[in-house]
């Protein structure tokens, strides 16, 4: 049995369908519990994962919190942004 890759190809252009990532940035004014709840609401992760991602942003200045299509990452970024957290959506790999 062969395992097919998760990357889909467009039959006309032979280009890969890109995956994107939602990034959050640390700030000095959003309470940590608000960040955790926003991540749970936006990405569907559990409280433990949300706390780890919040900790990473707090200690390293930013954290990748969601990987999906561009549309899904932008929707997650909007929800997180509504909690006062700066976000950015970028391709998963910068060299694409």
Tens digits of pLDDT across the chain (96 residues): 444 344 343 334 444 578 999 999 999 999 999 999 999 999 999 999 999 999 999 999 999 999 999 999 999 999 999 999 999 999 999 875
- 91: which 2 tokens? 């391709």
CA 26, 44, 69, 79: dihedral to nearest 10 degrees? -50
pTM value > 0.85: no
φ and ψ of 40, to 5 deg: -60, -50
Instruction: Tell how strand 87-91 and strand 62-68 pair up.
Output: unpaired
Q: Could you name the CATH architecture of 20-91?
A: 2-Layer Sandwich (3.30)
């Amino acid at each position: 049995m062969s395992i097919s890759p998760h990357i889909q190809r467009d039959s006309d252009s032979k280009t890969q369908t890109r995956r994107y990532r939602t990034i959050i940035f640390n700030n000095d004014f959003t309470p940590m519990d608000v960040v955790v709840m926003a991540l749970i609401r936006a990405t569907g992760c559990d409280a433990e994962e949300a706390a780890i991602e919040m900790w990473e942003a707090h200690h390293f200045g930013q954290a990748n919190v969601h990987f999906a299509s561009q549309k899904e990452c932008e929707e997650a970024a909007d929800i997180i942004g509504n909690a006062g957290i700066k976000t950015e959506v970028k391709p998963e790999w910068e060299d694409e």
